[in-house]
Amino acid sequence: MVLVELATGTIVADPDEVATVLEPTADEAALHDAAGGNAGPIAIAFPSFTDGRGFSLARLLRERHGFKGEIRAVGHLIPDHGQFLLRSGFDTAEITDPEAVQVWKLRSSASATIISRPCAIPCRCAGMRPPRPRLRSTRCLARPTTS
Amino acid sequence: MYRYDEFDHAFVNERVAEFRDQVERRLAGQLTEEEFRPLRLRNGLYLQLHAYMLRIAVPYGVLSPRQLRQLAMIGRKWDRGYGHFTTRQNLQFNWVKLVDIPDVLAALAEVEMHCIQTSGNCVRNVTADPYAAAAVDELEDPRAWCEILRQWSTLHPEFSWLPRKFKIAISGAAEDRAATAFHDIGLRIVRGPNGENGFRVLVGGGMGRTPYVGQEIKSFLPKEHLLSYIESILRVYNLHGRRDNIHKARIKILVNALGIDKFREDVEADWEATHKDAIDLPEDEKRRIMSYFAPPELPERPARDEALAARRESDPAFANWYKHNVLPHRVPGYASVVISLKEPGRTPGDASSDTMDFVADLTERFGHNEARVNYTQNLILPHVARADILELYEALAGAGCATGNNELLGDMICCPGLDYCNLANARSIPIAKEIAKRFEDPARQEEIGKLRLNMSGCINACGHHHSGNIGILGVDKKGTELYQITLGGNPKDSASVGTIIGPGFRAEAVPQAIDTIVDTYIDNRHEGESFLETWRRVGAAPFKEALYGAR
Amino acid sequence: MPSVVTANRLTDGIVVYLAADGEWTEEIANARVADDEAETKALEAIADNAVRERVVVGPYPMVVGLKDDGAIDPLSVRERIRAAHRTTLTKDWYDVPL
Domain ranges of chain C: 3-86
The model's confidence at residue B551, banded by pLDDT at 50, 70 and 90, is: low
* Span B63-78, pLDDT tens digits: 999 999 999 999 999 9
Kindly tell me if the per-residue pLDDT of B455 is higher than 60.
yes
Single out the residue in B291, B326, B357 at which a domain terminates: B291
* Span B247-283, pLDDT tens digits: 999 999 999 999 999 999 999 999 999 888 878 888 8
- pLDDT for the residue numbered B184: 98
Integer CA distances (angstroms), A139 to A135, A147, B230, B281, in order: 7, 20, 16, 11
Task: Tell if the CB–CB gap between B49 and C14 is shorter than 8 Å.
Answer: no
Task: Tell if the CB–CB gap between A139 and B278 is shorter than 8 Å.
Answer: yes
Is the minimum CB–CB distance between C75 and chain B shorter than 8 Å? Answer: yes
Cβ atoms of residues A7 and A112 within 8 Å: no
Looking at the fold, whether B419 and B536 belong to one and the same domain comes out as yes
Of the candidates B217, B210, B218, B213, the one whose C-alpha atom is nearest the C-alpha of residue B253 is B210
Cβ atoms of residues B379 and B341 within 8 Å: yes
Q: Where are the alpha helices (DSSP H) in chain A?
A: 28-35, 53-63, 82-87, 101-110, 112-116
Q: How many C-beta atoms surround the C-beta of residue B407 within 10 A?
A: 16
Shortest distance between the Cα of B479 and any Cα of chain C, in A, equals 6
Cβ atoms of residues B227 and B487 within 8 Å: no
Question: Comparing C88 with C52, which gets the higher pLDDT?
Answer: C52
The model's confidence at residue A139, banded by pLDDT at 50, 70 and 90, is: very low
* Span B417-445, pLDDT tens digits: 999 999 999 999 999 999 999 999 999 99
- pLDDT for the residue numbered B88: 96
Q: In a 10 Å sphere around its CB, with 0-12 CB exposed, 13-18 middle and 19+ buried, how is residue C8 labelled?
A: buried
E-only strand ranges, B35-144: 45-47, 52-57, 62-63, 82-85, 90-96, 127-128
Looking at the fold, whether B490 and B516 belong to one and the same domain comes out as yes
**Nearest-CA residue of chain B relative to A57?**
B239
**What radius of gyration, in Å, describes the C-alpha atoms of chain A?**
14
Looking at the fold, whether B465 and B527 belong to one and the same domain comes out as yes
**Structural domain containing residue B419:** 413-548
- pLDDT for the residue numbered C88: 58
Kindly tell me if the per-residue pLDDT of C91 is higher than 50.
no
C-alpha B2/C-alpha B293 separation (Å) is 7
3-state SS of B512-537 is HHHHHHHHHHHHHCCCCCCHHHHHHH
C-alpha B394/C-alpha B322 separation (Å) is 12
Residue B441 CB contacts under 8 Å (≥ 6 apart), including other chains:
none
The number of domains in chain B is 4
Mean pLDDT score, B373-391: 97
Of the candidates A35, A73, A36, A69, the one whose C-alpha atom is nearest the C-alpha of residue A54 is A73
Residue B98 CB contacts under 8 Å (≥ 6 apart), including other chains:
B23, B26, B27, B45, B52, C10, C11, C12, C13
Residue B6 CB contacts under 8 Å (≥ 6 apart), including other chains:
A131
In this structure, are strands B379-385 and B334-339 parallel, antiparallel, or unpaired? antiparallel
- Would you tell me the crossing angle of helices B226-240 and B260-273 to the nearest 10 degrees? 120
Kindly tell me if the per-residue pLDDT of A124 is higher than 70.
no
C-alpha B213/C-alpha B219 separation (Å) is 16
Cβ atoms of residues B146 and B128 within 8 Å: yes
Could you say which DSSP state residue A115 is in?
H
Task: Tell if the CB–CB gap between B7 and A78 is shorter than 8 Å.
Answer: no
Looking at the fold, whether B105 and B245 belong to one and the same domain comes out as no
Residue B495 CB contacts under 8 Å (≥ 6 apart), including other chains:
B176, B179, B181, B182, B205, B213, B214, B467
Looking at the fold, whether B315 and B276 belong to one and the same domain comes out as no
Q: How many C-beta atoms surround the C-beta of residue A24 within 10 A?
A: 20
- pLDDT for the residue numbered C98: 35
Residue B235 CB contacts under 8 Å (≥ 6 apart), including other chains:
A56, B158, B159, B270
Mean pLDDT score, B218-225: 96
Q: Which residues of C touch B347 (CB under 8 A)?
A: 88-89
Integer CA distances (angstroms), B44 to B149, B282, B374, in order: 18, 31, 19
* Span B479-500, pLDDT tens digits: 889 999 999 999 999 999 999 9
In this structure, are strands B413-414 and B453-456 parallel, antiparallel, or unpaired? parallel
Q: How many CA atoms lie within 13 A of B322 on its CB side?
A: 22
Kindly tell me if the per-residue pLDDT of A133 is higher than 60.
no
C-alpha B155/C-alpha C82 separation (Å) is 35
Cβ within 8 Å of C, B 484-513: 506-508
Looking at the fold, whether B219 and B195 belong to one and the same domain comes out as yes
Q: How many C-beta atoms surround the C-beta of residue A147 within 10 A?
A: 4
Kindly tell me if the per-residue pLDDT of A85 is higher than 80.
yes
Cβ within 8 Å of C, B 73-102: 80, 82, 94, 97-99
Question: Number of Cβ pairs closer than 8 Å across A and B?
Answer: 104
Phi, psi (degrees; rounded to nearest 5) at B143: -70, -35
C-alpha B530/C-alpha B269 separation (Å) is 43
- pLDDT for the residue numbered C95: 39
Task: Tell if the CB–CB gap between A106 and B11 is shorter than 8 Å.
Answer: no
The model's confidence at residue C29, banded by pLDDT at 50, 70 and 90, is: very high
Task: Tell if the CB–CB gap between B5 and A131 is shorter than 8 Å.
Answer: yes
Q: Which residues of C touch B52 (CB under 8 A)?
A: 12-13
Question: Comparing A127 with B202, which gets the higher pLDDT?
Answer: B202
Beta bridge partners of residue B188, listed in sequence order: B171, B200
Q: How many C-beta atoms surround the C-beta of residue B480 within 10 A?
A: 14
Phi, psi (degrees; rounded to nearest 5) at B495: -60, 150
Question: Comparing B496 with A121, which gets the higher pLDDT?
Answer: B496
Is the minimum CB–CB distance between A129 and chain B shorter than 8 Å? Answer: no
Q: Which residues of B touch A88 (CB under 8 A)?
A: 157-158
Looking at the fold, whether B274 and B339 belong to one and the same domain comes out as no
Looking at the fold, whether B155 and B206 belong to one and the same domain comes out as yes
Q: Which of A84, A117, A136 sits opposite B160 (nearest CB)?
A: A84
